[in-house]
Amino acid sequence: MAIDLPAGLLKRNAATANGQDSGPENGEGGGREISFGEMLADPMVVSVLTLSLPDMDEASRVAQFEDLKEGLEAPEASSRLTAPETFKRGEDTGLAVSYSFPSGLIYERAFILMQRKLVRVDVLRWPAHPEAAPAGSARRISESVRSLET
């Protein structure tokens, strides 16, 4: 997989396949997870989890997507900033939502459900730095995901 990271975080494209770039760790569900940024030093922290999926028919894909939507509970001590929003990218379906914490920290989560992959993007950002940590970053990053497999 490859993703485009916001210029405020890193001025480059990041490949997440085969342990390239920032060293993916084993993520939940046996997926690969990679993170960028440091909460105490950067205006934004990005975490990308990639899960392989079996081949699914359209009904199974719809069911998988509905499960994602139902699992979007607000984290403890947060309030929902934006309602879950569905988006399309060609054949792929995405979902994005954001929450705010009393500290001012914004938490964004986005998913892109591809043919044989599910990619989850989590962003923690400080809104005082809108140029380096723009609103909607999780969705923009998820929309940039592309497979490097041929």
Between 59 and 115, the more confident residue is 59
Q: Residue 143: which residues within 8 A CB-CB, separation 6 or more? A: 87, 89, 94, 112
pLDDT value of position 6: 58
**Least confident range of 10-24, 83-97, 107-121:** 10-24
pLDDT above 70 coverage of the chain, percent = 78
Mean pLDDT of 93-115: 95
Backbone dihedral angles phi then psi of residue 94, each to the nearest 5 degrees: -125, 165
pLDDT value of position 99: 97
Tokens of 35: 């993170």
Q: With 70 as the cut, is the pLDDT of residue 21 above it?
A: no
Please report which confidence band the pLDDT of residue 1 belongs to, taking 50, 70 and 90 as the band edges: low
Mean pLDDT of 98-124: 94
Q: How many angstroms separate the CA atoms of 65 and 92, rounded?
A: 11
Q: With 80 as the cut, is the pLDDT of residue 33 above it?
A: yes
- Give me the domains of the chain, ranges plus CATH numbers: 2-144 (3.40.1000)
